[in-house]
Structure 1
């Protein structure tokens, strides 16, 4: 049977053990409870062992005998794990630790793996949320669960994808009490969540007690921290003895703004799966259209050292990086910032920073950009104007720039925030403040009924879009440093990312 991990709070706490060679004398006496410990605390200690320490294959009678015979040595192991005085008897300090919010069983000293080191043998792991909590909106749950998985995919070569029907690798639900397995939840203030180790069937499945109050802050129980801990188990991590680790048994709130996987957890999960290395994230470049061979592409000039504009080079790996615009150009990704752009190529591993005006002399800075691949055209916006270029030649088409009104935007629009072409619909979405327009590339005119509200038509991405692009069938919407990977047909956020992750920052 797969091992299952629990976050535990004050009503009933779980027990864990570590192997300490030569440290403890074997003791087969009945439980030794200090006289100063109350009967209630004595019952707590016995329940602590019988519920969370014993072999799940034991019968109740065998379990009780095992608890009675091993209590003292198991208590010594617990005290040693937490750095308490090792006495083998209950005392106030031990009782206090037992009542702390915590999770699961552990027999390791730093990061640890389950017995046999189970792990996923594939690179794309699917997950499905079958029941949601009413404490948060569905989009908040989706984005938080995606963010918890992203903590791991940032450092290991696994990707996680949410699916909405059928059987997923990791099935997730929120439900109180009995919820279909042999580990019913015990109401508010008890077990918070549990997860199975990797494997077939129910391997990796993760359950959250819906009698808890789930939040995205320090109040109640923070979903991001609990989910990230449980997904560590779902990937094969056992508990850690490092108090700073996410996989430490006890639950405690830490500020989740810009939260990254602690070093101990990172080393543990990388020991199972290896480290993530930069890989191309775009499709191969399409072949150029028939015609004369344009020859090798000239080397792009880099930034001018005497240029007075702020150089974004130092921001490349900042978690606070905000893009001005983004687009694909024949398979490569271009990310614009402060009159420069980073180019993420499918043929070279490095990320190059180039000044916009050295590539396109008429354009100083780019507010928005989009590519229409079947036309081999890329359009770049600056202020009230836009330019279109031949994507295979990267030269500006004659007749440009043109005013924004040429696209059907009202004259009141002085700047476009973002734009993206959607291949499946043939529409270009143009974002301005909290509204967006839909431009039909086949008919070369704006669709009727626009502008419309971003927050209503794209739930979960926020109320504004700073940059947008399409990649592998998904849309990517940036709002500040945060980016949403979006499934347009389902109108769902798949993952929540940070902009800097595209720039080979691992």
Structure 2
């Protein structure tokens, strides 16, 4: 994009989701300098970066732009929601006008409401006539928050109240689906129904109320502990037979948990990345805060969760990830053609089924792979694997098997 178009797009994004006010919005006095405007724009970019767990540099890094381009909900991430914006009655009615198979939509919406009903004293009832507390629609409408065609904003909802309050709108131009193709209706519906109950966006990447689209199979999708606490703070706990839940709400990993172990650790330019399940923490030397975000916020749909190992090959500008007997190679945030491949293509014998950890040694241009009690030396220049040796012999005092390994500040 041309720089001028990029600035216009950036301002529109920050205006919609973070309350940025451009010059025309505020009718600035002639004495207001361009530097002041850039300072405010810089501050809003930092606010967005902090929300998504990115280093708050204020710069439009490739990672920042990748997050901004992700499909998402149309509501603001910064708009305060008051506790008074909630329903007073314990039974809410809803109806909808689907543009996709009605029988499947009926089941999806019923199951999406059930996730919220299981943890609150609220009951949801479908009505066949249009008059209902919550009206669900599929269309590109003419309200003050129009949609933007395919991708971008997928849906939005209105806070509880009379008239349009509580209503949920899905973008009719999207490729809605009931599986992993297109945009999964169930995943988006659970999120938007949370807004219809009065919940704001959550910066917790494990929460249903996180603003960016993230596909989770329906059988695995649960309200997180953060979602449950937030909605119960507004409405109280469920009094039904399904509470307490048969499956406890999942917790987003806490970096301060004394029992925490990492799946993998690697450098990424100046940062160190720590991976756990579908999450990662990013430690930057210039920032004290260590933010948590989703792996797929940086590498959409290419890197799996629950990794075994990872490393950065600085000389070749590559990131390499391992899970099971497969490995993925990323260059400039994009998956290289032909990947994933089997780890046997690196020279591992059939008896090696996975890699525990990987350690890239820049000065020697080689990588050490740890598998059980053995370690393997891989020459990155010649693409050859040496015979294994015992970890105890090469790395005395290092326990096996390893969880992760990383070269940090040359050590």
TM superposition score normalised by structure 1: 0.43
Whether 2:11 is the aligned partner of 1:50: answer no
Question: Map of 1:153-164 to 2, 5 A cutoff?
Answer: 153-164=117-128
Q: Is the 8 A contact 1:214 1:223 kept in 2?
A: yes
1:132 is aligned to 2:98: yes
Which residues of 2 match residues 78-117 of structure 1 at below 5 A?
Answer: 78-103=48-73, 104-107=75-78, 114-117=81-84
Is the CA contact 1:170–1:206 (under 8 Å) kept in the aligned structure 2?
A: yes
Give the C-alpha shift of residue 59 in structure 1. 10
- Pairing 1:69-84 to 2, within 5 Å after superposition: 70-84=40-54
Instruction: Measure the CA separation in 1 of the matches of 2:247 and 2:228.
Output: 19
1:194 aligns with 2:164: no
Cα distance in structure 2, aligned partners of 1:267 and 1:100: 27
Gapped runs of 5+ residues in structure 1?
Answer: 1-10, 12-36, 281-315, 320-506
Change (3 A) 1:47 1:278: closer
Q: Distance in 2 between matches of 1:266 and 1:278?
A: 15
Shift of 1:181: 1.8
Q: 1:181 aligns with which of 143, 158, 170?
A: 143
- Equivalent-residue separation in structure 1 for 2:241 and 2:159 (angstroms): 28
Contact 1:50 1:63 (8 Å CA) reproduced? no
Distance 1:67 1:174 in 2: 38
Q: Alpha-carbon deviation of 1:125?
A: 0.1
Name the CA shift for 1:218/1:67 in 2 (closer, same or farther; >3 Å).
Answer: farther
**Alignment map for 1:59-78 (pairs within 5 Å):** 61-63=24-26, 70-78=40-48
Quote the offset at 1:163 in angstroms: 0.5
Contact 1:195/1:204 (<8 A) preserved: yes
The change in CA–CA distance for 1:99 and 1:180 in structure 2 (over 3 A counts) is closer
Counterpart of 1:212 (choices 150, 164, 174) is 174
1:178-327, aligned counterparts within 5 Å? 179-257=141-219, 259-278=221-240
How far off its partner does 1:94 sit?
1.9
Structure 1 residue 318: deviation in Å?
Answer: 8.8
Q: Does the C-alpha gap of structure 1 residues 64 and 152 become closer, same or farther in structure 2, counting only changes over 3 Å? A: farther
Larger radius of gyration: 1
SS of 2:216's equivalent? coil
- How far apart in 2 are the matches of 1:217 and 1:270? 29
Whole-angstrom CA distance in 2 between matches of 1:94 and 1:189: 18
Deviation at 1:116, TM superposition (A): 4.2
2:108 match:
144
**C-alpha contact 1:155 1:275 (8 A) present in aligned 2:** yes
The Cα shift of 1:40 comes to: 4.1
SS in 1 for 2:120: coil
Conserved 8 A contact 1:155-1:266: yes
2:85 maps to 118
Q: CA RMSD in A?
A: 3.0
Check conservation: 1:106, 1:239, Cα contact below 8 A: yes
- SS in structure 2 of the partner of residue 122 of structure 1: coil
Distance 1:169 1:238, change over 3 A: same
Rounded Cα–Cα distance in structure 2 between residues aligned with 1:45 and 1:235: 30
Separation (CA, whole Å) in 2 of partners of 1:117 and 1:59 = 30
Residue 41 (structure 1) shift: 3.0
SS at match of 1:161: strand
CA distance in 2, matches of 1:217, 1:152: 21
Q: Which runs of 5+ in 2 are unaligned?
A: 29-35, 249-411
- 86 and 271 in structure 1: CA distance in 2 versus 1, 3 angstrom threshold: same
In the alignment, the residues of structure 1 paired with residue 88 and residue 222 of structure 2 have an alpha-carbon distance, to the nearest angstrom, of: 24
TM-score under structure 2 normalisation?
0.53
Partner of 1:192, secondary structure, is strand
Counterpart CA distance in 2 for 1:59 and 1:117 is 30
Aligned to 2:373: none
* Farther-moved stretch of structure 1 (215-224 vs 92-101): 92-101
- Contact preservation (8 Å) 1:49, 1:67: no
Contact 2:204 2:210 in 1 (8 A): yes
